[in-house]
Amino acid sequence: MRIGFVGLGNMGRHMARHLILAGYQVTVHDVRQKAAAEHLALGATWAATPAECAAAADVFITMVPTPRVVEDVMLRAGAAAALPEGALWIDMSTSTPAAAEHVGIRRLDAPVSGMARGAEAGMLQIFVGGAAEDFERARPLFHVMGDPSKVLHVGGLGAGYTVKLMINLLWFCHLVATSEVLAMGVKAGVNLSVLRDSLLASPAASHFLDSDVLCVLNDGDYDDSFAMALACKDLGLAVDLGRDLGVSTELSALVEQIYRRARAQYGDLAGEMSPVRLYETLAGKEFRLTEGGAPCLVSAV
């Protein structure tokens, strides 16, 4: 099977590498040719344009930052028109159904969770929307890039995008709510470790509080592998989707505002957990359990 792969960023570079190591014939493209150096050393072929990357592909994969870039690659750069008859396009970006619909070709939406660590380990969670037969055709590729037990066919076209946006939205809400609770408890004089243990022993326990937030609490690591600019993009897409569907988004819109305030204060490239810093300021101290500790275990976005 010949694979074209566009987008060799923090996630895509690992995903493409796993496909090469699994023995697939892979052609790669990125706006930065130097991003492909490791792939070319492993036997991949370089394509100078997205259209050239698509032209020889049985399966064409995009892993790019925004819906606008998806459309740039597929339409304005000509990848969709260059795909051979019968080829399958798999968009693994966090995007929207509308962006893919504009392209109008045979496709799957298959966004991922697990962050760069999951991509590096080949253990991503993959949420796939599209026809069952196309999902089965692509399943071996997904199993190379992700955890087979967490490769899920979640519905028809667009369902993968929607599930991924909802996962990110809920995770960001968990972060803001947890930060607010920790700030109040700490400022009221409760020991941070005691407060966290109490919350975990209660019906308010969450995976975020148990695991994801440890990178901040142990190491002061706000997870710069996923930038605030991308987090705000995802929140904006989720809120827009809610409005389009006629679903009330007051809470989501507030979380988005808090994220945008953190982005303005700490910068586009600050880590996705930077809103915690806003609440540390309100509490008058950093949220730390120990000096040193476990690595960041962020798993949702």
Structure pTM? 0.92
Question: Mean pLDDT by 10-residue block, N- to C-terminus, for the chain (301 residues)?
Answer: 97 98 98 98 98 97 96 97 97 92 94 93 98 98 98 97 97 98 97 97 97 96 94 97 95 98 98 98 94 43 56
| 79 in Cβ contact with 73 (< 8 Å) | yes
- Residue 102 has a pLDDT of 86
Phi-psi label, residue 114: left if phi above 0, alpha if psi -120 to 50, beta otherwise: left
DSSP state at residue 208? I
Distance CA 214, CA 192 (A): 12
- Residue 297 has a pLDDT of 43
Dihedral pair phi/psi, residue 122, rounded to 5°: 70, 35
**Which residue(s) pair with 128 in the sheet?**
153
* 34 counts as catalytic: no
- The CATH number for 162-283, chosen from 3.30.499.10, 1.10.510.10, 1.10.1040.10, 3.30.160.100, is 1.10.1040.10
Q: Strands 25-29 and 112-113: what pairing?
A: unpaired
- The CATH number for 2-157, chosen from 1.10.1200.10, 3.40.50.1110, 3.20.20.480, 3.40.50.720, is 3.40.50.720
The residue ranges of every structural domain in the chain are: 2-157, 162-283
Tell me which of 150, 164, 187, 233 is the catalytic residue: 164
Using CA atoms in the order 76, 78, 81, 83, what is the torsion angle rounded to 10 degrees? -140
- Residue 301 has a pLDDT of 56
Question: What are the CA-CA distances from residue 200 to residues 49, 55, 67, 188, 287 (Å)?
Answer: 50, 52, 37, 19, 16
